[in-house]
Amino acid sequence: MKDYLKRFLDIIFSFILLILLMPVYLLVYVFVRIKLGAPAIFKQKRPGKNAKIFTMYKFRTMTDEKDEKGHLLPDEKRLTKFGQFLRKTSLDELPELYNILKGDMSFVGPRPLLVKYLKRYNKEQMRRHEVPPGLTGWAQVNGRNAISWEEKFRLDVWYVDNRSLWLDIKIIFMTVIQIFKREGINQEGQATMGEFLGEKRE
């Protein structure tokens, strides 16, 4: 029953926020097009609940700069100051409200990571996919990208086992505070976090 209630609240609040934040959405869209070019929306396949693949939408934060061989430069070199601002304020996440409305995501849950990580999880880490991925989550308000992959996955699984409406409300309030404090946005020397290589190579 609590999962149905959560989905109902996701639909209601994502719809309301999509309408209320439309002016902000359009303003960010225009600035992304001017400063970073087209497309303004970044699309990427991510695994959702039960590892079902969906397309996640975010505002673009990096350029398409390449080296002399035609390969994209490392993320930290393509991330502009404007892109950093979008990430620090979480404005780059606004298009994910559409993912929430569609049912791909929830407001709260483990963050959706790369598809290639699926084959690198152990059995316990894979449990993070027992619930829909979230716009924010327990790991995000307890270190975000400044903690290790092992700790991030431990927090994700803890959320799966202890999730409740009141915990979700707590996480949302903690997220708002974290956005203003702008902590844990990236690991040192990385645009966000280093690649998860699995237990044997981590």
Give pLDDT tens digits along the chain (202 positions): 678 899 999 999 999 999 999 999 999 999 999 998 889 999 999 999 999 999 999 999 998 887 777 777 777 788 889 999 999 888 999 999 999 999 999 999 999 999 999 999 999 999 999 999 999 999 999 987 778 899 999 999 999 999 999 999 999 999 998 887 766 555 454 446 788 888 654 4
Say if pTM beats, i.e. exceeds, 0.85: yes
Q: What is the pLDDT of residue 69?
A: 76
Q: How many CB atoms lie within 10 A of CB 86?
A: 24
Q: Compute CA distances 175 → 39, 61, 74, whole Å.
A: 28, 20, 28
In the chain, the N- to C-terminal Cα span, in Å, equals 38
Q: What is the pLDDT of residue 183?
A: 60
Helix ranges restricted to H, the chain: 2-20, 22-36, 75-78, 81-88, 96-102, 149-162, 165-181
Residue 51 to residue 19: CA distance in whole angstroms: 30
